């Protein structure tokens, strides 16, 4: 089946620094990738939809200058949390959509900003 690799799985960073999270589709090409944020014991909240070669579409209330998304190839999308602050601490999950495999999710990244 389809596999989406997400790295890193955990990251701790200092307040004010930037963190990049990678999401790769390993055996298929994903024209569309999605980025979600999840707080403890809550559901997934869509942050943005990323299409290869074009600008990401952000959900209402998500700061595009703070959460930079790049989808430069059909197998890689990145989310950069810029100038991270403790309130950005959360679990971030990517998902890739493909007609053959449907939606495949990465294993998530636990971001802790100290």
Partner 1 sequence: SQQGEEDPQALSIQEGENATMNCSYKTSINNLQWYRQNSGRGLVHLILIRSNEREKHSGRLRVTLDTSKKSSSLLITASRAADTASYFCATGGGTSYGKLTFGQGTILTVHP
Which residues form the interface with partner 1 (CB under 8 A)?
Answer: 4, 6, 32, 34, 41-44, 46, 49, 91, 93, 95, 97-99, 102-108, 110
- Distance of closest approach, residue 90 Cβ to partner 1, in angstroms: 12
Residue 18 or residue 107: which is nearer to partner 1 going by CB? Answer: 107
- Distance of closest approach, residue 105 Cβ to partner 1, in angstroms: 4
Please measure the distance between the N-terminal and C-terminal CA atoms of the chain and give it in whole angstroms. 37
Residue 60 or residue 87: which is nearer to partner 1 going by CB? Answer: 60
Residue 70 or residue 105: which is nearer to partner 1 going by CB? Answer: 105
- Distance of closest approach, residue 47 Cβ to partner 1, in angstroms: 10
Write out 43-103 in H/E/C secondary structure.
CEEEEEEEECCCCCEECCCCCCCCEEEEEEECCEEEEEECCCCHHHCEEEEEEEEECCCEE
**Which residues are CB-neighbours of 51 under 8 A, at least 6 positions away?**
31, 32, 57, 71
């Amino acid at each position: 089946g389809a596999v989406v690799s997400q790295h890193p799985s955990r990251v701790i960073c200092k307040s004010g620094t930037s963190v990049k999270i990678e999401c790769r589709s390993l055996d298929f090409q994903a024209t569309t990738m999605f980025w979600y944020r999840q707080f403890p014991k809550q559901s997934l909240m869509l942050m943005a939809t990323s299409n290869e070669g074009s600008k990401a579409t952000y959900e209402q209330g998500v700061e595009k200058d703070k959460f930079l998304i790049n989808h430069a190839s059909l197998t890689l999308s990145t989310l950069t949390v810029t100038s991270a602050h403790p309130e950005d601490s959360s679990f971030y999950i990517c998902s890739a959509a493909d007609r053959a495999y449907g939606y495949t999710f990465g294993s998530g990244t636990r971001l802790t900003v100290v």
